[in-house]
């Protein structure tokens, strides 16, 4: 079941204008079809082009081998009630998807401020291939990450987790989580394909929605 939450702005990089997008909780057949018929062929095309031009697939986050690992991990989820999925739609298309966990082993803080405190863990935050600056030359919508992370922080407050969230950033996105969102970089996680693990601690979450977030505490 998919329920609209609100209308949010996304910036169209081509026109330079903000457009209205809809933030949904839940996913439906249209979203699955968009991923299958619009996202997937573009990934395939881009992989083919990259292979021809000698580009490194890992640098554009287009490796299939990398994906197989995660595919099994998501498919193995046994209790969908511990999860929430959020969708961003704009222009009749699925622009981004986020899957979060509200409980379980990954939902304990590793931050020195509050070890083992409960948090919302972002299993994945995926933007459509046409919105990715490293994948396409002229990406379309900007702001998907900001909207979805804000939604995760919001959910964390709703679930009485003080705004704490955790996630593993994909290569190329680390700066977004550290410099742009002020999350704490807790280093490479050897048990998670070496991806860097980031947390938004409660101290940062309290100021997250203020116009000027305070810089990360050293």
Partner 1 sequence: MKLRFTNHWLRSQIDKDADIECDAGIPLRDSTSITHFTHPEAASVATAPGLKMAVLSVLVHQLRRRDGLSVTQLAERLRVDADELANVESDPNYVPRPRTMHQLADYMKVSTQAVQSLTAEAIARNNNIAQAALKFAASSKDLSQLSNAERRGLNDFVKFLASYEEE
Taking alpha carbons only, the member of 152, 159, 158 closest to residue 199 is: 152
Could you say whether residue 154 binds partner 1 (CB under 8 A)? yes
Question: What is the torsional sign of CA 127, 128, 133, 139?
Answer: negative
CA distance 33 to 39: 9
Could you say whether residue 38 binds partner 1 (CB under 8 A)? yes
Q: By the 8 A CB rule, do 98 and 148 touch?
A: yes
Could you say whether residue 74 binds partner 1 (CB under 8 A)? yes
Say which residues have a Cβ less than 8 Å from residue 80's Cβ, sequence separation at least 6.
none
CA distance 27 to 32: 8
Could you say whether residue 149 binds partner 1 (CB under 8 A)? yes
Q: Which of 91, 104, 158, 189 binds partner 1 (CB under 8 A)?
A: 158
* Closest separation in Å from C-beta 164 to partner 1: 14
Could you say whether residue 146 binds partner 1 (CB under 8 A)? yes
Could you say whether residue 35 binds partner 1 (CB under 8 A)? yes
CA distance 64 to 40: 11
* Closest separation in Å from C-beta 203 to partner 1: 16
Could you say whether residue 18 binds partner 1 (CB under 8 A)? yes
Site string for partner 1, 180-209 (x = CB under 8 A): x----------------------------x
Q: Which of 8, 120, 161, 200 binds partner 1 (CB under 8 A)?
A: 8
């Amino acid at each position: 079941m998919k329920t609209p939450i609100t209308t949010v702005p996304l910036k169209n990089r081509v026109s330079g204008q903000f457009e209205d997008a809809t933030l949904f909780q839940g996913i439906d057949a249209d979203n699955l079809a968009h991923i299958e018929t619009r996202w997937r062929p573009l990934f395939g095309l881009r992989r083919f082009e990259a292979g021809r031009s000698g580009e490194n697939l890992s640098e554009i986050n287009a490796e299939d081998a990398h994906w197989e690992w995660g595919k099994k991990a998501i498919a193995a989820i046994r209790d969908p009630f511990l999860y929430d999925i959020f969708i961003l739609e704009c222009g009749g298309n699925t622009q981004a998807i986020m899957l979060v966990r509200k409980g379980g082993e990954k939902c304990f803080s590793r931050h020195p401020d509050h070890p083992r405190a409960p948090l919302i863990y972002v299993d994945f935050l995926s933007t459509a291939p046409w919105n990715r600056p490293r994948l396409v030359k002229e990406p379309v919508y900007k702001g998907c990450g900001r909207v979805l992370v804000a939604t995760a922080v919001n959910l964390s407050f709703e679930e009485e987790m003080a705004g704490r969230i955790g996630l593993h950033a994909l290569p190329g996105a680390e700066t977004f989580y550290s410099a742009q969102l002020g999350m704490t970089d807790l280093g490479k996680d050897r048990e998670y394909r070496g991806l860097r693990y980031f947390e938004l601690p409660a101290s940062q979450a309290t100021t997250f929605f203020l116009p000027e977030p305070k810089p990360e505490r050293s």
